[in-house]
Structure formats: C-alpha cells, structure tokens
Structure 1
C-alpha cells in the first residue's frame, strides 16, 4: 500500500510539465517528488525495447558491482548524454526544465546509469546519499538532483528504492566502502530511521522519482522472479562546477530538446558524445576534460 501524503504528481502527454510552488515545497520538504507517467507508455516501451536488443550498444558497456552481501548489480554508466535515445530522454524539456526549477538554476548532465537487478540474483544498494561520495569529486555544494525512471515495475517484491523522507535536511553523512559501494555511517542511519519515515517507492514503468542528492536511499536484493531495471539521470547545477578533474563531467552546457524528440529519435546505437565508465576496463576516452558544448 502506498504511504500516505506522498508528493505525487502526474505528467499529461502533450502538455508541458509545470513546476508549481506546491511541487517545489514538496520537493524541499520531503527530499523527493514522484511524477507518474513521466515517460509515456510509448516512450518507456521504446526505451525498454531498445535496451533489450542483443545488439544494444548501450548495454554492451555494462559491468557488475558487488553489493557486499554476495550478489551483484549490473550497471551501465556514462557521462554526457549524447544523441541516442537515452540522450534524448536525458535532454528533454520535461526532465531538464523540471530539475532546473526544483534545484534553482541551470543544470548540466553529470552522468546517467542503468541499474539492472535480475530475478533471484540482483543485489542490494546500501543506505547512502549520492552527495556522500560526489562530495569527494570536488563538488562543493549539494546542488545536485537525480531522476529515476522505472523501466520495469518496481515494488517491494523485486527490490524497489527505499527512502527516508526528509533525510536530505541532515546534511552530508560520512560514507565508507561496503563491497563495491559507498555506504553511509550505519549508526547515523539507525538514528535517522527512528525519527524519519521509511518509504518504499513503488513505481510502474514510466514513472519518475526526482530526488535531492542528500536524500538517504537504499534498495533490497531482488528475490523475485521479476527483473527490475531503472535508468537514473543525475544533474549538477551549472554554478556548482567541480573544483577538480574527476571521472564525472565538469560543467558542459546542456542543449535541451523537445519532448517529441524521444519518439522521433531513430538513433539507438550511435554513442558518439557519450563517455562510458567501466571500473573493470581502461577507459582512456573518459579522462576528464571539458569538451565544450556536448549535445
């Protein structure tokens, strides 16, 4: 059953997604909002079908990450959105403009990842804040925002995201290593759980969760017979350019596209402009640089 008073909004196909004062208030009070059908049914089917193809160039860049409890999560991670289908989603107005209105200024694409939890084998994510480790990349302020798109149905049974409502107001918590992941100070998390509501964010395909970089979140292993795939696009405010070179993008102006560009896109596998990151491979193309305007 869905938690009470969740900050839930609805995207209506063919109309702009207007960020109201109430939406902003909900975002800053809770640390997140949910937008139902942020990707339309046709858009999420197109995305899913593209990624499921054996020849998918994007999925060919996937790698495994240990969860610290004997299981793996499969990830695909890239800087710069590019011009393929995933790039159109990363750059479309309903996503970029909404993030800019909520975080309070121009944003650029920090990175995107596809998280793949396979049936019966998919691993967990430990409690963490994204800024808990992005801080180490020379990002001075917690002015980052992420959008999680549900590619499959996500619920308690297959390891949906869990959040502590309002935990972004705690500020950054110290993080350490858990398996291949960064995990928040667990004693601090235990105390937070006593005073903050834990919410299982259940989503249907196409739903979007937009959340602050200091929101504490985690997810369980997938012990179900259903897979759980998500795409998470992360944006940094333009005036929060990292102070040092690192493995994610520094400020690069983002050229937005219309929402129609998603369904009009015919480019599924030309990955020019994208810089993939795979810790198990040498990625000379991912060496930090500022290439100027990247589409």
Structure 2
C-alpha cells in the first residue's frame, strides 16, 4: 500500500522500492515469454560504454497486445506513478534492458531527463518503473543510484563512449554529497525513480543475465512542446486492473 510516508520518501530520495510488486508466477511467465521473444532480441540495439563493452536495449513507443504493454497499463504501476508525480500520467515509452552474462556493458552516470529535456519536455515531472525480470545483484551489474540526487536539477550531458552521460565533474561532486545505493532486486521487485535521479550500472561480469523491463511515464501537464518527437505526445492511458494484468501475464 502506498502511504503518504512512502510518497514523502520518494520525494526525499528520488526513488522508491516496491518489493514483490509482481508475483513469482507472473514473473516466471514474463521471464519465459521475454527470453523466447525473437522479435524483441531483433529490435534491440547496442550502445558501447566507455570501455567499449556492449549493452543492449529494445525500446517501444507503442502499446500493443503484449505482456509488456499489460505491465505498463497495470494499475499497480501506473496508479503508483500518478500518486508519486501528483498528476495523470501517460505512456512515454517502455524498454527491455538486455545485459547478458560477461558481455553486458556498463551504463554511464546519467539522468533520464538529461535526454528527455531535449525531446521537448519542459518540466522534469516524469518517472520510470524498473521491474527486475532476472535477479539483479552487484555481480551482474544492478542499477546504482545517488540517493537524493534528483534535487540537484538537470545536469548537462556529454558523449561518453557510445553513450550520453552526465557531466563527469558534476557527477563527482554529486558522489561526494549523495549516498551511493546498489539496487539489488529479486524478480518481480520494482523500483520507481524520478527522471532527474542520477543512476548507472556496472558491466555484467557474472555468469547470470540481468534483464529488466522499464516503464517510462510523462505527466499530462508536461506534454512535449515538440510534436511527433522521439517519444509520444500526451494521450490518455487506459489503465487495467491487476486481475486482468495477472491473467495476461500468467496465460503466456
């Protein structure tokens, strides 16, 4: 249950864990579907980190008849995001991060709003929900965040390897002032985080994959000033009750 105290924690820290947001049965089914999804793998594109290691992601702007879209529409995710951001939200995009054993590269320190600002979003009133499909640990490159760093505001982003990362000088200053948190998660755990939160992940040097589904939302009042940009403009999100979403996930 999302309490006022938890909402206050989100505004203080820039993130909020929701352990066991999806059940074991739901995640086992989603895991099986995702790993067998050849179209998903084919759509994934590669980014190189500063050391030249590859990391892959598949991004989708459209909601279709799929388990991934059902997760985006689920009230346990979308309604929570609405309360955290204090407005109606809509689907901005969703993506599957594919960090494979021993070859999955790092993601450099960045803010999502560091990118989304350039897509015409005037305000940073946006957020993401990362759902662990595989277990996420330090060994396989779990997400890292700087607690409370969303309060810094938008940081300039520059090219780092094949990626775009936050200004390294600002990141170093932030690391002196904000606690580094490793977001270790079990399948079905979720992490809601603010678009200005500084985050990164290490390369996967383990024998275990780390796939995660990330659902990204924008607020209605923050409709991009750029029409037909990289990600969608506002349109109402049809939110589905948890029972319907669970049926879709477990019937796959």
TM-score (structure 2 length as normaliser) = 0.96
Distance 2:15 2:112 in 1: 13
8 Å CA contact 1:144–1:235 kept in 2: the answer is: yes
1:195 aligns with 2:139: no
TM-score (structure 1 length as normaliser) = 0.82
Matches within 5 A, 1:127-146: 127-146=109-128
Distance 1:266 1:48 in 2: 10
Q: 1:23 is matched with which residue?
A: 6
Residues 21-55 of structure 1: CA deviation (Å, up to 9, x unaligned): 101100000000000011111111111100111x5
1:40 aligns with 2:19: no
8 Å CA contact 1:124–1:159 kept in 2: the answer is: yes
Distance 2:64 2:91 in 1: 10
Q: 1:65 is matched with which residue?
A: 47
Structure number with the bigger relative contact order (C-alpha 8 A, sep ≥ 6) is 2
Structure 1: runs of 5 or more not aligned: 1-17, 270-295
Distance 1:266 1:68 in 2: 37
- Quick one: structure 1 residues 83 and 218, their matched pair in 2 at CA, closer, same or farther if it must change by over 3 Å? same
Q: 2:106 is matched with which residue?
A: 124
Structure 2: runs of 5 or more not aligned: none
| SS class of match (1:57) | helix
In angstroms, what is the RMSD of aligned CA positions? 1.6
Distance 1:266 1:95 in 2: 14
| SS class of match (1:115) | strand
Q: How many residues align?
A: 251
Distance 2:250 2:136 in 1: 27
1:70 shift after superposition: 1.1
Select 1:50's aligned residue among 24, 29, 33: 33
- Quick one: structure 1 residues 196 and 267, their matched pair in 2 at CA, closer, same or farther if it must change by over 3 Å? closer
Q: 2:241 is matched with which residue?
A: 258
Q: 1:184 is matched with which residue?
A: 166
Distance 1:104 1:42 in 2: 31
